[in-house]
Amino acid sequence: MLDKKIYFDGLGEVSFRKTARSRNIRIRISERISVTLPVYCRYGDAAMFVKENMDRILKARQKYLEKTANAARSTPEMRIPDEWGLSSQEKAELLKPAPDKEILRRIARKTLVPRLAALSGMHPAFKYRSVRIKDNKSNWGSCSAKKNINLNMNLVRLPGHLADFVMLHELSHLAYMNHGEQFHALLDSLTAGKEKQLAKELRKYSWMLRVNRA
């Protein structure tokens, strides 16, 4: 991958990245603007593409910022679970809008891994091969066909019952590798009939995933 940064009036510094997978020029809009382009494409051509689409980019970024601001206003109060057994310094780090990722990963590893192991005792099918703590950009966790579980390190910043809900969701995939009726029936039974309620509550914390995007 090759990177270059170019300054544009009205946009500020825009990052350009060449990738082998890119087949055309694509613009990603958030607080910062980034552009991916094919390795054979010239940076000058990509910069011209940005200039030609300046009005559309500015409108899209304004819409993104307004949406983010509205989400922040409706963000629920954060409370770090006492059961994590964290120090006051660790709790203070987790309560930051964008915690240090290395500290966050370390705290998540020491709390989520044993909690997942404890929850796995709720069903005989919950036998996983490995668990990894990751900085996922779009989901709270995943379970592979090889029975490897990935957990988002931001789970440690959620209320305890929601972190448990996510982990039970991924554990339930060990029994049903889909989102069919049997999967939902199992997850609903494990959450005392509150699967839909918990899923709705979890969506209120989706801003954590957006904040930590690179």
Q: How far apart are the C-alpha atoms of 155 and 205, rounded to whole Å?
A: 10
pLDDT digits (tens, 9 = 90+) for 37-89: 999 999 999 999 999 999 999 999 888 877 766 655 555 667 787 888 888 89
pLDDT digits (tens, 9 = 90+) for 98-119: 788 899 999 999 999 999 999 9
Domains of the chain, first to last: 2-73 (no CATH), 82-211 (3.30.2010.10)
In percent, how much of the chain has pLDDT > 70? 92
pLDDT digits (tens, 9 = 90+) for 141-151: 999 999 999 99
pLDDT band at 214 (very low <50, low <70, confident <90, very high): very low
Distances (CA, A) of 34 to 15, 79, 102, 110, 126: 5, 33, 24, 34, 41
Mean pLDDT score across all residues of the chain = 88
Cα atoms in the Cβ-side hemisphere of radius 13 Å centred on 91: 12
